Amino acid sequence: MQIKAPHEPAAFTRQETAQILRMSLRTLDNAKARGAIGYVQAGGKILFRNCDIESYLSRHAIPPRESSWAIC
């Protein structure tokens, strides 16, 4: 999965990351505090890299259940 488009930054602020993940800032802060999502602290500013966001999404993905009949 590729999040970064050619015109997007390599890292996102807390607000941008929360919006991308469709979660509140508090939920993002809790995930950061428990080590569920990686981040970079640069000059006192917290930034989330594309790879941090992609890794978080990959770890929290729920695969579909197999059904008794094929859909495809």
- Sorted by where each begins, the domain ranges of the chain are 11-59
Q: Is 40 exposed, middle or buried (0-12, 13-18, 19+ CB in 10 A)?
A: exposed
The CA-based angle 35-56-52, given to 5 degrees, is 80
DSSP string, 3-48: ---TTS-SEE-HHHHHHHHT--HHHHHHHHHTTSS--EEETTEEEE
| Predicted confidence (pLDDT) per residue in 31-64, tens digit | 999 999 999 998 999 999 999 999 999 999 888 8
CA-to-CA distance for 20 and 68, rounded, in angstroms?
A: 34
The pLDDT of residue 5 is above 60: no
Query: Could you tell me which residue, 38 or 72, shows the higher pLDDT?
Result: 38
Task: Say what the pTM is.
Answer: 0.75
pLDDT at 11: 93
